[in-house]
Amino acid sequence: MAIFSVYVVNKAGGLIYQLDSYAPRAEAEKTFSYPLDLLLKLHDERVLVAFGQRDGIRVCHAVLAINGMDVNGRYTADGKEVLEYLGNPANYPVSIRFGRPRLTSNEKLMLASMFHSLFAIGSQLSPEQGSSGIEMLETDTFKLHCYQTLTGMHLHGGQRSVMEKVGKRY
């Protein structure tokens, strides 16, 4: 099993270290003629597919590139708004690359603090005294493991401890 991300969270739930070690695999590129047969919408400063799955393009995939030029959120590399550009029939045919968007820094902070909250609630709700809380969340596509450092005294020591444990597991 591969390790996709490592998050180190302090006792207060703050993210102190994060590492991504994957490249999104689910990307699809297709050339379209006007009108576009997908419904795109702006959500969290990204242009996402809202309706119209086909050819490997899925709902919630983001527009990653137009005609080979990367898209940064809602803007093309040359500063044009993506939805405005795709709404103009003069710009067709157009090649669009779709894929899963990368998490923003803010989304990573929210993810870490939410997981810490779930961990704390799980520890407190356990009928067993001294419960270790959530050790693993498992879905049909991934497993999320939660490890605690032995000491928690030193920030750098804690980081190494967590990364070593994750690395030795697989």
**pLDDT at residue 114 in the model:** 86
Given the DSSP bridges, would you call strands 39-43 and 27-32 parallel, antiparallel or unpaired?
Answer: unpaired
**pLDDT at residue 131 in the model:** 74
Domain boundary pick from 44, 75, 99:
99
Same domain, 113 and 144: yes
The CATH number given to whatever domain includes residue 6 is: 3.30.450.70
Cα–Cα distance, 84 to 33 (Å, whole number): 15
Q: Which amino acid is at 70?
A: D
Contacts of 162 (CB under 8 A, 6+ apart): 6, 8, 147, 149
Number of compact structural domains in the chain: 2
Same domain, 73 and 16: no
Instruction: Note the helical H segments in the chain.
Output: 82-86, 105-125, 155-169
Same domain, 12 and 52: no
Phi-psi region for residue 45, left (φ > 0), alpha (ψ -120 to 50) or beta? left
The CATH number given to whatever domain includes residue 79 is: 2.30.42.40
pLDDT band at 101 (very low <50, low <70, confident <90, very high): confident
Two tokens at 76? Answer: 């093309």
Give first-to-last CA distance, the chain, whole Å.
6
Same domain, 60 and 94: yes
Distance of alpha carbon 56 from the chain centroid: 19
Same domain, 15 and 57: no
Sign of the alpha-carbon dihedral angle for 107, 110, 116, 117: negative
**Cβ pair 28, 97 in contact under 8 A:** yes
Asked if residue 93 has a cis previous peptide bond (ω within 30° of 0), the answer is: yes
Domain boundary pick from 79, 99, 119:
99
**Cβ pair 161, 153 in contact under 8 A:** no
pLDDT digits (tens, 9 = 90+) for 42-69: 988 899 999 988 888 889 899 999 998 8
Q: At residue 98, does pLDDT exceed 60?
A: yes
Host H or E run for residue 73: none
**pLDDT at residue 4 in the model:** 79
- Supply the range of the domain harboring residue 36: 27-99
Q: How many residues does the chain have?
A: 170
Of residues 14 and 156, more confidence is placed in 14
**pLDDT at residue 83 in the model:** 93
Same domain, 142 and 163: yes
